[in-house]
Structure 1
Amino acid sequence: MLQLKRIVFFVLISMNACAFAQDVDDQESVLSVLKKQTNAEKRAEKIKSIRENGTAIELFELIQFYGTDDEKSEKIIKLLNKKYPESQQARFARVMSFRNLESAQEVEEHFFKIQQEYPDANLDFEKNLVAMSFAEVPDAEKMMSYINTIEDPVYRVGALLSSLELFIPIDQEQALKLATQNLDQAKKLKGQMKKNNLSEAIYNEYLKMYGKLLFKSGYDEKSFKYIQEAYENLEDTSENREVVEIYAYLSASLKGNYEKSLPVLAGMIEAGKNEKMYLDQVRLGYAKLYPDKDVEAYIDSLYQKFIEKIKSNVAAFSVNKPAPDFSVIDVNGKKVTLEDFKGKTIVLDFWATWCGPCVASFPAMQLAADRYVNNPEVEFLFIDTWENVKDPLSHSKKFLDKRGYDFDLYIDAINPETQLPPAVTAFEVTGIPAKFVIDPEGIIRFQLEGFEGDMEAAAEELAQMIEIARKGF
């Protein structure tokens, strides 16, 4: 399901939000003025003035002011498209009309209505949105059928990139086939890079995506070609660590270039990336550059630095307060409470399918959960909350199954009386992902929100928190 937040995120990224984030003669925005106006009569006068004489930007801000009032928003969307049909605001406003749609079929049906209502409009935005909704199914044929009809060749590649990013976690093999089949479209952008900054940005992002996809699929030689070009095009290596790390590994393993690669590889071990493939290259590189020194002692020192760093980080999330009595629903429809886990250390992870950082944290959470899979004293509760769908359980199960996660799923179902999800409300959560580590006595020992950083480091941090909660120190 592509709710409004994800719609906005993907369309802004792929179409360069600056196109319609313009200043209005440095005046205070309409949205701000309307929000501050407490006099209903004056606010109504301002709205009437905007409807009659407002610019495209002002009408767009009026849509934002109406928020979830679909009836009023729809009227302004139609007015904006009538008065300023070619504006970026009109196009983006049409995209906003897709909010709250739950399935690819609903998104497609809404697209057909827009086609009929605006037969002369450029619908590249909308086609991208429908393609992304089918990428989440995943349905490659439907996805590509919409991408291939996008008129703007630059945006077409950007739309393909957006859809493939959604497709990769679900079906990596098929995603690689699609990325390879459409590689020539991306390469055509290379010739336009001096004239078009957006072409350059999308081409470089495609290079990164394709190189990483080849690497994850085991095609090291092919990957190196694209990763090397992506690496050479980087303006800031600190913001593209994955590309830098893959380039370092491939430079070492394929070219024997350890002088520049070893520091990066060593940094990866120090950050917790202790897979055999990386350890092997560190061993080879260190032995080659420092033949008289102890390789294993060096690797052990890197790992110890990692552990010490994790231990120091963990302290920042330490709390000491009783956990509220909460209730959630398990996959069998049974209500469970805090009392059901008495005597165990439990990890609560509040998340939602539409939450990007939540999904980004899943690989780390899977690593941590796998570590305790045979330990009956530790339980992980992955609690889906704040969903806006008819059947959260079915929706969440499909979402996790498609991505290969076998979490112990629980649902924070809306209380019909309060219209609030009880568990996340009891914990006073203000943002997700939100994680709580509760000790066997029912005391919250650690609490953290959001997700940033490496999968390995995040998993180790959580493991350290669990051990502290279990052992009481």
Structure 2
Amino acid sequence: MKKYLSVAFLLTASWSYAQQNTPNLFQQNREILENGTLVQKDSLADAVYSGVKNYKTEEEYRVAINMLRTLSQEEKMESVSKIAKKKFPKGSLTRDAFITDVFYNAEGSEAKEKAYNEVIKKWPVKKFSGEELTYDYVLANLAGAFAKEGDAEKATQYLGKMQERFWRGNGYLPVGQTLLAAGDTTAAAPLLKVAMEDAYYYISLPEEQKDNKARFASMGYASSMSAYIGILVNRGSYAEALDLIEKAMTVAPEQADGLSNVYYKSLMGTGRKLEAYNILSKLYAKGQFNVEDDLKKVYTDLNGSMKGYERFNAGLKNELTKSIQEHIKEMTVYKPAPSFELLNLQGEKVSLASLKGKVVVLDFWATWCQPCIRSFPGMQAAQEMYKDDSNVQFLFINTWERDKEYKKNVVSFIERNNYPFEVLYDDQKDPQTGQVMAAKFGVQGIPAKFIIDAEGNIRYFLTGSTPNVDYIKMEMKELIESAKRPYIQSTKS
């Protein structure tokens, strides 16, 4: 008890000081937030909460709410939020709560548009200088709703209201892709072109002018350009497409991989078959087997027949296998996996101990995590590959969800996409540390995958994702088959 009181006293003192230096509050308490015991975290939460009566500014409430959210103190966070919204009805906290609870949860474009108009009326943009991005998020979401319903005119209208150029592509690109998927290239093309040109503007800035915003905007260059050039290629405008691609290669050679698919098609369309063949060979050797029809065509055009193709194809696949084997060496880990017992979608308990004797593949994911979702078709294919192997178990660990209705959202997502996954909810906190399973495994970003051997040891850990189904299948096979074999300590110094 004395130890608990001592900790609480120190935290209260820290909080009192932090009120004078609010921006540094997270930094001052980082050690407790990241590595503290449950007692320390509870004491910090109590100290934060006790300071409510002294708050004078909305910023103090915002910091307190974020701290309590980080500490997983939902009740205290909600209590502080209610006080803040009552005290600052026209403030950004109340606005943000309305956007989250009403706008984002609205079903359909009509309901979203009504909520958006209420946001603009009660919290006009001009009164929140410097917070234009908040409104851009809303506009992009609203435009997306109209695009899904096929209303390109309304979608384009709301996109045109966005103000932050560095982020604009994040609204234009998905709307353009949605319209493109629906076959409306006329409406999609100008949106994709804007997204591409915005990204090009930032990516071509002198290095000394590239701040975080510029780097963020640059990230969308390959995606927007691929989509736009895809339209040009389908229209047969190969020369125009090729000109844009080679212009991109000059200012952003690191984007070459993302542009490979439209690049080889443009080269084929302009008769530069040998260059197209070289790119196709590299794509195939990286596991993009969906390009094989084009590879066969160019191979035949260059060689006069298909003679020797099978040997050539086997060589590319062998090259890929060796590349994956070298790559997974970098993912090697050997340590006992933390024990766990979590509930699945049916409310049944699933523990690591119950799976001893099996190779277990853990995939940490969330419904809001696009890279996680992007890899699911490949993970589904990998699971299907091992459906008859009773010694391999795939578990998809749903973690870090942000919505109170996360269980409902998870079930809906899995059913909507017809994924045959064994999903576990990562919502059981350790009574000593307050950590969920992801933290115990050292997960700092998702998607994160762990391959655990039959003895319960982590053998491989990998992060990131790819939409490449064939590559994921081959990579998972190498990882799983390796985990089936006895661990051999590396002799490298």
* 1:66 and 1:73 in contact (8 A); partners too: no
Q: Does 1:103 pair with 2:105?
A: yes
Cα displacement (A) at 1:455: 5.0
2:333 alignment partner, SS class: strand
Contact residue 439 and residue 445 of structure 1 kept, 8 A: yes
CA contact (8 A) 1:271 1:457 kept: yes
Q: Is the 8 A contact 2:360 2:453 kept in 1?
A: yes
- Distance change in 2, residues 1:292/1:455 (3 Å): closer
Match of 2:121 among 102, 116, 121: 116
Q: Which residue identity does 1:310 align to in structure 2?
A: I
CA distance in structure 2 between the partners assigned to 1:268 and 1:113 by the alignment: 49
Residue 183 (1) aligns with residue 158 (2): no
**What amino acid does structure 2 have at the position aligned with 1:331?**
L
One-letter code aligned to 2:277: L
Task: Tell me, yes or no, if the aligned pair for 1:269 and 1:278 is still in contact at 8 Å.
Answer: no
The corresponding residue for 2:285 is 270
**Which residue does 2:490 correspond to in 1?**
none
| Residue equivalent to 1:406 | 419
Write the distance in 1 (CA, Å) between the matches of 2:83 and 2:152.
Answer: 31
Identity of aligned residues (%): 22
- Match for residue 174 of structure 2? 165
Q: 1:356 aligns with which of 342, 365, 370?
A: 370
Counterpart of 2:408 in structure 1 is: 394
2: CA distance between counterparts of 1:136 and 1:344? 44
RMSD: 5.0
Structure 1 residue 244: Cα displacement: 2.6
Q: Give the unaligned 5+ runs of structure 1.
A: 1-29, 52-58, 82-92
How far is the alpha carbon of 1:350 from its aligned partner? 0.8
CA shift, 1:115, in A, is: 1.9
Q: Give CA-to-partner distance per residue, 1:195-252, whole Å, 9 cap, x none.
A: 9999x9899965532444x59xxx8455857743541441224324232332213532
1:148 to 154, 157, 166: 157
Secondary structure of residue in 2 paired with 1:332: coil
Letter in 1 for 2:428: N
With over 3 angstroms needed to count, the CA separation of the structure-2 counterparts of 1:269 and 1:77, relative to structure 1, is farther
Distance change (3 Å), C-alpha of 1:155 and 1:230? farther
C-alpha displacement of 1:285: 5.4
Matches within 5 A, 1:329-344: 329-344=343-358
Cα distance in structure 2, aligned partners of 1:345 and 1:296: 34
Instruction: State the Cα distance separating 1:349 from its structure 2 match.
Output: 0.4
Partner of 1:241: 257
Deviation string 1:153-182 (CA, Å, 9 cap, x unpaired) is 8879975862652795xxx67744355324
Distance 1:274 1:191 in 2: 31
The offset of 1:355, in angstroms, is 2.3
Distance 1:140 1:161, change over 3 A: farther
Q: Take 1:455 and 1:279, find their aligned partners in 2: how far apart are those partners?
A: 18
Structure-2 change in CA distance of 1:66 and 1:174 (3 Å): same
- CA distance 1:221–1:32, change in 2 (3 Å): same
Instruction: Report the residue type matching 1:437 in the other structure.
Output: I
Counterpart CA distance in 2 for 1:386 and 1:193 is 30
Distance across 2 between alignment mates of 1:380 and 1:467:
14
Alignment size in residue pairs: 409
Could you tell me how far apart the structure 2 residues matched to 1:249 and 1:393 are?
43
In structure 2, the gaps of 5 or more residues are: 1-20, 30-47, 70-76, 206-213, 488-493
- Single out whichever of 173-182 and 332-341 deviates more from structure 2: 173-182
The residue aligned with 1:257 is: 272
SS at match of 1:177: coil
Q: Are 1:208 and 2:226 matched, yes or no?
A: yes
Matched residue of 2:183: which SS?
A: helix
Aligned partner of 1:378 in structure 2 is: 392
Does 1:432 find its partner at 2:446?
Answer: yes
Residues 49-95 of structure 1: CA distance to partner in whole angstroms, max 9, x if unpaired?
xx6xxxxxxx98996686356468767895689xxxxxxxxxxx966
The normalised TM-score by structure 1 is 0.67
Residue 177 of structure 1 aligns with an amino acid whose one-letter code is G
CA gap 1:422/1:292 in 2 versus in 1, 3 angstroms: closer
